[in-house]
Amino acid sequence: MVEDPAAAPRPTSVLDLNAYLMYTMGKAARRSITERLTARGLRLWHATVLDLLAELGPQSKGDLATRLDMHPSDLVKIVNDLTKTGWVTCTRDTLDRRRIEVALTSDGRAALASLSADISSVDDDLLAPLTEAERSQLGTLLRRLRSAQRA
């Protein structure tokens, strides 16, 4: 007996894979966030460093680079940009002169609040088709996936 090829199970389309869907949504989110930041003359790393300093307090440049999995010379460029805007200060450690501590200024906190509001609006735009409960569930699931990747 010859089987009908149309009746055979078809492999899942790449376009239906959750990984692909997360990839395309991630690209859309990154594009929107990048547009918002670029309009302010910033990149995502600038916002990330500001946010990390707000969350953890002053950090050495070395610790920041390690936490962000970033080459130290790349971090120096970001910190220099943020220093020029007056959003962070850099001070040399009195006990270890090689160590430079980066701290958020009050202007940096205000800038971060404004950036955060702008970036949050990207969430609102991207997640508009979802209810509040669905948004909450999606956030919970994404945080769980992210935690598993770090383990």
Write out pLDDT tens, residues 95-136: 888 889 999 999 999 999 999 998 889 999 999 999 999 999
Write out pLDDT tens, residues 55-105: 999 999 999 999 999 999 999 999 999 999 999 999 998 888 888 999 999
- DSSP string covering 72-96: HHHHHHHHHHHHHHTSEEEEE-SS-
Structural domains of the chain ordered from first start = 14-125 (1.10.10.10)
